[in-house]
Chain A
Amino acid sequence: MLTMLGTVLGVGCFVAVLGLTATAAGQIAQDFSTQLATAVQVNDAGADSTSDRVRSFTDDAEQRLARLNGVDSSGVAWSVSVNPTITGPLGGSGTNQIQVMAASSGYLDAALPIWASGRVYTQFQQEHRLAVVVLGQATAQRLGVSEAGETIFLDGTPHLVTGILKDVATRPELLASVLLPASTALERFGDPTSLSPASMLIRTDLGAAQQVASEAARQLRPDDPSLLAVVPPPDPPRMASVISTSMQALFTALAGVTLLIGGAAIANTTLVSVMERTQEIGLRRALGANPGDIVTQFLLETVILGALSGLVGASLGLITVIIVAVSQHWTALIDSWVVFASPGIGAGVGLIAGLYPAWRAGHINPIQALRH
């Protein structure tokens, strides 16, 4: 049983790891499809060495993009070039270590926010450049803001907190920032600099991202599309394939190491078995077995044990994959060759692991073996 255990665990791990890898890779591919695959980024590439300030996006950029088929929401954002002193509702000395970002409400919508409190600033607040902000949850905690409706101070000027972000699907830097309406930031701090130029985030319908990406630059700046650099989302099937391949390579190596350990366990247990059966080996030699007969016998035993263990291991591995997939609400995926090849893999491990013990068994002196 101990001899089997090594290979059972080894092959079981092998099947489970490959199965879980395939299952997890499939799940990741799905996640990519629904999140990253619908986000298109457009960067402002209009800066040159002679220009300190740059703003290639027109004021009506969001309206222009809204006319493209498949665009769900879009907006512009950038990091402001100055670091104002920010003070929480309770006052104090303030800090200028928090990043201030300009972000239109469309940008926040495209980042797929989850709100802890309140909501994004209104159209009215943006058009009239009112002193309003949205905070990431971490920033709000740092400033002592517990809910929307409280006030913080930027360089002593009060700003109403309209909402606190709990999470976003993309652009996690939003969570660590104080976010001002783009119109307010423009008036207060001026255009974006060439060091931190503006970018647009476009949220598209599923499957529309590549098409929107191909049209966005010309739609935004028909006069000079080269001012804008469009970053399309990763191609979902290709991304899934890349992830799947790299994960499988990693976990196949892991499974290989597991099998190696299993093989070492078999070799060790078989070696112990050879020691325990020394007298039997001596008897067989006395009855006319050649060293080759003894080697063959032990190799056959380890190969059969390995194959049986492979079968049991494959079953346990399959059960593990199914249990994990069901508990995670995933779709269980496993290549059929992994299951069908398992007895062969087990037999191979048994063969290799049995080589040295079998060789030793075949070369035991029969006289000493009988006296054992």
Chain B
Amino acid sequence: MTDSPRPVIRLDKVGRRFPGPPPVDALREATFSVEAREHVAIMGPSGSGKSTLLNLIGLLDTPTSGKYELDGADVAQLDEHTRTALRRDAIGFVFQDFYLMAGRSAWENVALAMVYTGVSAKQRMIRAKQALDRVGLDHRHDALPTTMSGGERQRVAIARALANQPQLLLCDEPTGNLDSATTEQVMALIADLNGEGMTVLTITHDPATAAWASRRLMISDGRIPA
């Protein structure tokens, strides 16, 4: 990775067809790029193809047409194992539903992201607590998710996304389950991370959330107009 601006994400006529029946083109010839340190929001109504796009960019799915490059690597040329490793090391996910494990403390949830990186258990704990400190939860290391507010839970999820120090933060409706005041706090935190150099791609249907991005793209019926 270099510090000079360059495309972290580059999509060239990327499409995703689900064979059905009936066959559905969830994404059609999507072409755009996201530069390093950019915060881009992709907006669109339900069923417009937002989630399909996020899954492709997050390497959870593969395009059926076109070319997708992540940090210069053509993901179509990568095998499943390499794609998984790239997802683990380069991408942090923030989901609308947080996906925290109810029976584990905040720091244990954050440490889960490092289980597959070969980091020792002790280091996982130290780094998890540092990540929680970074998102303002230094007093909630040992709290269970069930005892936390929605904003706190999303901050734990953001700390988990930061744990492996990824290059790209993918946020899928990060404020979908939050009230407006908490939305403000969470998006401010994401903006801070972007300010520190992290590339952020946020998918949302909420204009207030999208407003925090430096650039906004619209998606409709699987198409992203130029």
Contacts and interface: CB of A to CB of B under 8 A. Distances in A.
B88 interface: yes
Interface string B107-132: 00000110111000000000000000
Interface in A314-372: 366-367, 370
Given A279-B99, A293-B116, A370-B95, A286 B58 contact: yes
Interface string A289-304: 1110100000000000
B139 interface: no
Contacts of A370: 60, 95, 99
Contacts of A279: 99
Given A279-B99, A367-B61, A288 B112 contact: no
Contact of B116 (A280, A288, A366, A367): A288
Interface string A264-308: 000000000000000110111111111101000000000000000
Nearest to A292: B81
A288 B85 contact: yes
The 6 closest A-B pairs by CB, nearest first: A288-B88, A288-B116, A283-B99, A287-B113, A289-B116, A290-B84
Interface of A: 279-280, 282-291, 293, 366-367, 370
B181 to A, nearest CB: 27
A320 B64 CA distance: 62
B78 interface: no
Interface in B34-58: 55, 58
A286 B94 CA distance: 10
A284 B100 CA distance: 11
A306 to B, nearest CB: 21
Nearest to B160: A287
A290 B87 CA distance: 11
Contacts of B164: 288
Contacts of B116: 284, 287-290, 293
A286 B93 contact: yes
B143 interface: no
Given A290-B81, A290-B84, A293-B116, A285 B101 contact: no
Contacts of A282: 99
Contact of A287 (B55, B80, B88): B88
B89 interface: yes
Nearest to A280: B101
B87 A286 contact: yes
Contacts of B115: 284, 287, 289
Contact of A288 (B61, B89, B95, B101): B89
Given A287-B160, A288-B89, A370-B95, 16 more contacts: A283-B99, A283-B112, A284-B112, A286-B58, A286-B93, A287-B88, A287-B93, A287-B113, A287-B115, A288-B88, A288-B113, A288-B164, A290-B80, A290-B84, A290-B116, A367-B61
24 contacts: A282-B99, A283-B99, A283-B101, A283-B112, A284-B116, A285-B60, A286-B60, A286-B87, A286-B93, A287-B113, A287-B116, A287-B160, A288-B84, A288-B85, A288-B113, A288-B116, A289-B115, A289-B116, A290-B81, A290-B84, A290-B116, A366-B60, A367-B60, A370-B60
Contacts of B99: 279, 282-283, 370
A289 B160 CA distance: 15
Interface string B64-98: 00000000000000001100110111000101000
B95 A287 contact: no
A276 to B, nearest CB: 12
A289 B84 contact: yes
Contacts of A280: 101
A324 to B, nearest CB: 40
A291 B58 CA distance: 17
Contacts of A283: 99, 101, 112
A367 B95 CA distance: 12
B130 to A, nearest CB: 18
A285 B115 CA distance: 12
Interface string B152-169: 000000001000100000
Nearest to B84: A290
Contacts of B117: 288
Contacts of B89: 288
